Amino acid sequence: MKTKIFLLGLLVSTVTMVGQTKSTADSKPETWYFKLGGSYFIQTAATEFPIVSGALPNTDVYAADGTTLVSRETNHGSFGEGLRTSLNVGYRFTTRLGVEMGINYFSGKDKTMVETVHKLAAAGPTFVSGTAEGKINALDLAPAVVLFLGETNGFEPYTKVGVIVPVYGDLTIETKRTYSNAAGTTNTYAKDVVLPNPTVGFMAALGTSYKLSKNISLFAELEYRNFTVHGKSKETKEYTENGVDKLNTPTAFRSDASYSASHVDYVEQLNSNSNSYLFNPNTATSNPTDTTRPNDAMNDISSYVGISGLGLTFGLKYSL
């Protein structure tokens, strides 16, 4: 009985709302509109970060001897946290239904993927401490279907669902290490850029606009975005020691300076035909005297990263 009363009340409320907005809605012609907004997203659906240049996604802390592991913590999260600027072009077919095409530029927040504290790296002894931090930058298109729920007192709520199609983007990983021994301290810096394979994601939003004048409105949206990408290739763009460029120079801390040491092509499977020291002994990395494939990119297993987030957008809307 209570359920029937609730449904009857909901029906009456819906009819009343439609009746209140009918005259306003019917007076609106089909129209184009433009939206310019800024957003901040927080991460959702955190997952474990991928391996970075052979290092597991952990924070490892060692004792003074450099070999006793004091603590280990797995690093996880989503690269969906950060700032976004968006431009949307929309068209209303009717007073209730429309479509939008969003053009979005996203700049993610730095995420610590690997961290090591006071590990014994080699005989000497040499101790190493360092971090590897990743950051996503991406430009995407987001076509969506919009359902307008009717205008009341200048406010017009709406919902929209759509897909995310990245057109440009990369994952930049900056690795900073400090090597210490009796001879002194060496600070190294490496910048790796990972390019993704094509992918498609999902988005959904709930928003409202508030009319300031005939053509101009304020709008606010709560939006959820979710997609994953996996790597296509990686290139070491920079490598320095104490600020000096050593990208193409063999050193004590980076003995291999060949093309294969700075380039990686990601694959689904490694085998004896791969340019990988784990499976193929004829690679420059496993056998420095071998020169059969130093000019080919190394092969590694393609890893996935999650880019999911919940964001709040504010901006201006201009209707023609």
Task: Give 237-262 pLDDT, tens digit per residue.
Answer: 999 999 999 999 999 888 888 898 89
Residues with Cβ within 8 Å of 226's Cβ and at least 6 positions away in sequence, in order, are: 44, 45, 80, 201, 202, 203, 306, 307, 308, 309
More confident position, 290 or 122: 122
Quote the Cα angle for 297-300-302, to 5°: 120
Nearest to 224 by CA among 164, 277, 276, 302: 164
Nearest to 103 by CA among 72, 143, 130: 143
pLDDT at 24: 43
pLDDT in tens, 282-310: 554 444 444 447 888 999 988 888 899 99
pLDDT in tens, 98-109: 999 999 999 999
pLDDT at 185: 95
Residues with Cβ within 8 Å of 155's Cβ and at least 6 positions away in sequence, in order, are: 208, 209, 210
Mean predicted lDDT score pLDDT of the chain: 87
Query: What tokens does 208 get?
Result: 């409202």
CB atoms within 10 A of CB 18: 11
pLDDT at 280: 66
Longest dimension (CA), the chain: 85
pLDDT at 274: 85
Mean pLDDT of the region 225-229: 91
What band does 183 get if pLDDT is binned at 50, 70 and 90? confident
Quick check: 28 pLDDT over 60?
Answer: no
Q: Out of 25-29, 91-95, 115-119, which region has the weakest mean confidence (pLDDT)?
A: 25-29
Quick check: 92 pLDDT over 80?
Answer: yes
pLDDT in tens, 34-79: 999 999 999 998 888 988 888 899 999 999 999 999 999 999 999 9
For the 28-319 domain, the top CATH level (class) is mainly beta
More confident position, 135 or 47: 135
pLDDT at 283: 52
Quick check: 86 pLDDT over 90?
Answer: yes
Question: Percentage of residues in the chain with pLDDT exceeding 70?
Answer: 86
Q: Out of 104-113, 118-127, 213-222, 311-320, which region has the weakest mean confidence (pLDDT)?
A: 118-127
Question: Distances from the Cα of 49 to the Cαs of 112, 276, 303, in angstroms?
Answer: 9, 22, 9
